[in-house]
Amino acid sequence: MMAGTPTSAPVAESTVATAPPDAEAGVAAAPLAETATPAVAVPGNKPRFITFEGIDGAGKSTHIAAVADLVRKRGVEVVVTREPGGTALGEELRALLLSEAMHLETETLLMFAARREHVSQVIAPALARGAWVISDRFTDATFAYQGGGRGVPADKIQALADWVHPGLVPDLTLLFDLPREVAAGRMAQSRQLDRFEVELTDFHERVRNEYLRRAAATPARFRIIDANESPEMISKILENIISSL
Ligand code: TMP
């Protein structure tokens, strides 16, 4: 390391009340993070960047708060955030991305535009002050959805990643894996679908395959979670993974 829907979690939530310092010159002040119990970073604690990934309906988002609580129990600051989004501008881009039809390259570029804000305003400052960052999706999602799903060449996505966040790679990526039919069944029961969620099964199969391909290519970073397991079992698995960090 420098290592749904546009509703909840509008900007990154942190356990610290103050806005983080700007990571780089020329970056606008960070939006105020929502506050919770102030925590003091433990000296010597290595900041970690953890991402949650998976196809829509795999159930990853329901486990994020619990993982954040587990980490907080160690007495470290935890910033919980999401992509696209995590900043005020990023959330506006998210609303567009999830609702407006656009060229697949526009979609890719807007994902990285939102990410640029997110890295500058939230992720890099948090890691720099010793916090752990837990993000509901990051650049693996662009490789999976825009790359695997829409067919944007991986070298183009990699070039954007190298430009927008050179050297920043998650320490751990939790990939919630589920057959598309099961995920679709879950979503049909629970909510109104956004522009990505209504894509046909083939699209999500390609997204899933690209996630699995990336996990196989960098196994040290990925843990694949069988999202068919019960929520209780998944919680236990996540507890074991986090306690091993
Ligand atoms: P979410 O519902 O998990 O919050 O994700 C929002 C949608 O955005 C989801 O369908 C995946 C999609 N997405 C991409 O297509 N590319 C990306 O780079 C990211 C971060 C998300």
Query: Could you read off the pLDDT tens digit of each residue along the chain, which spans 245 residues?
Result: 444 333 444 566 654 323 333 333 333 333 333 333 334 445 557 899 999 999 988 889 889 999 999 999 999 999 999 999 999 999 999 999 999 999 999 999 999 999 999 999 999 999 999 999 999 999 999 999 999 999 999 999 999 999 999 999 999 999 999 988 888 878 777 767 888 887 778 999 999 999 999 999 999 999 999 999 999 999 999 999 999 98
Which residue is closest in CA terms to ligand 1's atom 1?
4
What residues contact residue 229 under an 8 Å CB cut-off, 6+ apart? 237
Residue 11 lies in a domain: no
In short, whether 142's Cβ falls inside 6 Å of ligand 1 is yes
85 is a domain residue? yes
| Residue 10 falls inside a structural domain | no
Cα–Cα distance list, 23 to 1, 117, 156, 167 (Å): 15, 11, 26, 15
Nearest to 176 by CA among 216, 233, 239, 223: 223
Identify the CATH number of the domain in which residue 59 sits: 3.40.50.300
Structure tokens at 65: 């708060």
Neighbours of 188 (CB within 10 A): 11
| pTM of the model as a whole | 0.85
Would 63 be classed as within a structural domain?
yes
Domain annotation covers residue 179: yes
Residue 62 lies in a domain: yes
Mutation choice for ligand 1 from 55, 145, 178, CB with most ligand atoms inside 8 A: 145
Whether 43 is in a domain gets the answer: yes
Asked if residue 183 belongs to a domain, the reply is yes
Is 145 touching ligand 1 by the criterion CB < 6 Å?
Answer: yes
Can you tell me which atom of ligand 1 is nearest the CA of 82? 4
Q: Provide the sign of the torsion angle of the four alpha carbons 71, 72, 75, 79, taken in this order.
A: positive
57: containing domain: 34-243
Total number of domains constituting the chain: 1
